[in-house]
Each structure stands twice: as C-alpha cells, then as structure tokens.
Amino acid sequence: MKTIALIAHDGKKADILQFANDNKKALGKCKLIATRTTGKLLKEKVGLKVKCYMSGPLGGDAEIAALVANKKVDAVIFITDPLDAHPHDPDIHGLMRVCNVHNVPLALNIATAQLIVSPKGIFSTKVE
C-alpha cells in the first residue's frame, strides 16, 4: 500500500480539504499520514483514516522528513502558503530537501497534488 503524507499551512487548510474530498476514493486506497492539525481536519471533515504526527511548528515536518529519508513515504503533498511567513521555515525547507535527495514526489500546490493522485499518477498502479 502506498503511503502519502498530507500537510497544509493554515491558510491552505480549506484547499487541502477540498482536494481530499475531490479525491477521497484514491486517497482511501493509501496509507495516509499528516501533521496534527491537517490530519485532524481530514479525519473530521472528510472521513479519511489518517495517522497524525506533531503539528508542523512543533516538529511534525521534521518527523515526516525522517520518514521520507527512511523510505517509508511514497509521496508528499504539502500545500504551502507562499504569501505567509512561517517560523518553522527551516523544517519546511528540510522536508523539501529530503524529498529531493530521495527522489520522492513532492506537491506544493493543488495542481501538482492532482497529478500525483490522477489515474496516470504515482497511485495509479495496482494497490498492494
């Protein structure tokens, strides 16, 4: 089963919830992990089964980066808010760097996230 990490900045929570609702069937075939607030919203508002890690500012981005580095994540969808400052920017950039180093697909916006879960995307192959 493919594992996908879902993260969204506060200003993008509505966007990731809409994305998850629109792609609930595809996401439901995956093991989902998320930072705390995003995961909680995905559980409550969309009804997805999600394993939650710490909130991003408290180290959740770093926790997910460690999972990526240990080859336990197949793709990361991190809907960022480029117009807002984030005190945990080093963790955000660290997660992005680890995805690039380990060649793990990383979506930073909804358009790219849609490509990952599309019928011809990473999750299109037979679910294990």
Q: What is the dihedral of CA 67, 92, 115, 102, to 10 degrees?
A: -40
Q: Looking at 61, 74, 81, 89, which residue is catalytic?
A: 61
Look up tokens 């993008």; give the residue.
Answer: 12
Spatial separation of the C-alpha atoms in residues 41 and 35, rounded to whole Å: 10
Is position 61 annotated as part of the catalytic site? Answer: yes
Q: What is the CB neighbour count within 10 angstroms for residue 98?
A: 22
Handedness of CA 40, 111, 18, 29 (dihedral sign): negative
Q: What is the largest CA-CA distance in the chain?
A: 40
Q: What is the set of active-site residues?
A: 61
